[in-house]
């Protein structure tokens, strides 16, 4: 299991200070919409300067027509990040078009699909997708696997079922991890590291339990030790 630290602080300066404090560790960093829209490529270059071995996950959740998604995927690969994501509901043609476009890269980034946004409740999800969350999430995971993606973003509680429906090597990246049972914040269902391990989670995404800690570096050390 790998630790992926969410750089969710409100300014580039604070995110850079956090990354600097964590420069010694073998970790992934998650860059979201807000910081990428505001701080762009320069932010990614700065993170690489802090530690060239940081692995970077660009969490932009692409959703558009297949050719436009492939164009964006190509630009993301040019940025040199190690992983990005798309919405599974963009469809199979979009998945294949993205994966085909990335073939020209010797070392392409990993591509994950978002199955169901956790902000949906069952009724809201059903009104858009015409099926329940569990059923659709598993179908989306199988579809992503069959079309050559590397994995999905999921809840830790679904990780094992997704691997059973696809392959053990199909990656799961799971937010909502509270390594030592910390405050859940706005997350509805949170998992500890033990549960994440039992569920064969590949990437544990952790935000607030690290950046709200008095000593984020010490906290990361403890998490890595436990992992
Ligand atoms: O602070 P916390 O550990 O809850 O942060 C989790 C991170 O994972 C945040 O960046 C959040 O936006 C993201 N995320 C999530 N649930 C999803 C997808 C992404 O919490 N379904």
> DSSP states of 124-151 as a string?
HHHHHHSS-HHHHHHHHHHHHHHTT--E
**What CATH number is attached to the domain comprising 142?**
3.20.20.70
Indicate if ligand 1 lies below 6 Å from the C-beta of 6: yes
| Nearest 10 degrees: Cα torsion 20, 21, 24, 26 | -90
From 116, 175, 183, 216, the mutation candidate for ligand 1 (largest count of ligand atoms within 8 A of CB) is 175
In the prediction, which pLDDT does 173 show?
98
CA 187 – ligand 1 centroid, Å:
8
Q: What is the mean pLDDT of residues 138-162?
A: 96
- Give the residue numbers annotated as catalytic, written as ranges: 61
Residue nearest to atom 18 of ligand 1 (CA): 175
Report the first-to-last Cα separation within the chain, whole angstroms.
7
Assess whether pLDDT exceeds 90 at residue 116.
no
From 3, 6, 61, the mutation candidate for ligand 1 (largest count of ligand atoms within 8 A of CB) is 6
Indicate if ligand 1 lies below 6 Å from the C-beta of 208: yes
The ligand 1 atom at the shortest distance from the C-alpha of residue 32 is 10
C-alpha–C-alpha distance, residues 114 and 163, integer Å: 15
Assess whether pLDDT exceeds 90 at residue 40.
yes
Range of the domain at 135: 2-226
pLDDT band at 199 (very low <50, low <70, confident <90, very high): very high
Assess whether pLDDT exceeds 90 at residue 46.
yes
In the prediction, which pLDDT does 117 show?
85
Q: Cβ(67)–Cβ(122) under 8 Å? A: no
Q: Cβ(72)–Cβ(51) under 8 Å? A: no
C-alpha–C-alpha distance, residues 40 and 28, integer Å: 18
Helix (H, G, I), strand (E, B) or coil at 57: strand
Q: Please state the domain count of the chain.
A: 1
Assess whether pLDDT exceeds 90 at residue 189.
no
Q: Cβ(36)–Cβ(43) under 8 Å? A: yes
Locate the DSSP E strands across the chain: 2-6, 28-32, 55-62, 83-87, 110-114, 151-153, 171-174, 203-206
Assess whether pLDDT exceeds 90 at residue 131.
yes
pLDDT band at 138 (very low <50, low <70, confident <90, very high): very high
Helix (H, G, I), strand (E, B) or coil at 106: coil
The ligand 1 atom at the shortest distance from the C-alpha of residue 185 is 4
C-alpha–C-alpha distance, residues 158 and 172, integer Å: 9
- What is the percent of the chain where pLDDT is above 70? 100
Indicate if ligand 1 lies below 6 Å from the C-beta of 80: no
Assess whether pLDDT exceeds 90 at residue 29.
yes
The tens digit of pLDDT for each residue in 61-98 reads 999 999 999 999 999 999 999 999 999 999 999 999 99
In the prediction, which pLDDT does 190 show?
87
């Amino acid at each position: 299991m790998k630790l992926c630290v969410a750089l969710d602080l409100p300014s580039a300066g604070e995110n850079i200070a956090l990354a600097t404090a964590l420069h010694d560790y073998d970790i992934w960093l998650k860059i979201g919409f807000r910081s990428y829209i505001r701080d762009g490529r320069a932010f990614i270059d700065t993170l690489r300067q802090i530690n060239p071995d940081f692995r970077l996950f660009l969490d932009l959740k692409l959703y558009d027509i297949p050719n436009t998604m492939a164009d964006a995927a190509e630009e993301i690969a040019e940025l040199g990040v190690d992983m990005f994501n798309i919405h599974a509901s963009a469809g199979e043609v979009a998945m294949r078009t993205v994966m085909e476009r990335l073939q020209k890269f010797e070392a392409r980034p990993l591509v994950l699909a978002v199955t169901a946004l956790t902000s949906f409740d069952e009724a809201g999800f059903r009104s858009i997708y015409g099926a329940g969350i569990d059923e659709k999430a598993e179908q989306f995971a199988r579809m992503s696997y069959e079309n050559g993606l590397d994995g999905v973003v999921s809840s830790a509680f679904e990780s094992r079922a997704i691997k059973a429906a696809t392959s053990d090597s199909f990656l799961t990246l799971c937010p909502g991890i509270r390594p030592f049972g910390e405050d859940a914040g706005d997350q509805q269902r949170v998992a500890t590291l033990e549960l994440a391990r039992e569920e064969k989670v590949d990437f544990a995404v952790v935000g607030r339990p690290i950046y709200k800690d008095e000593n984020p570096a010490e906290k990361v050390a403890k998490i890595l030790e436990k992992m």
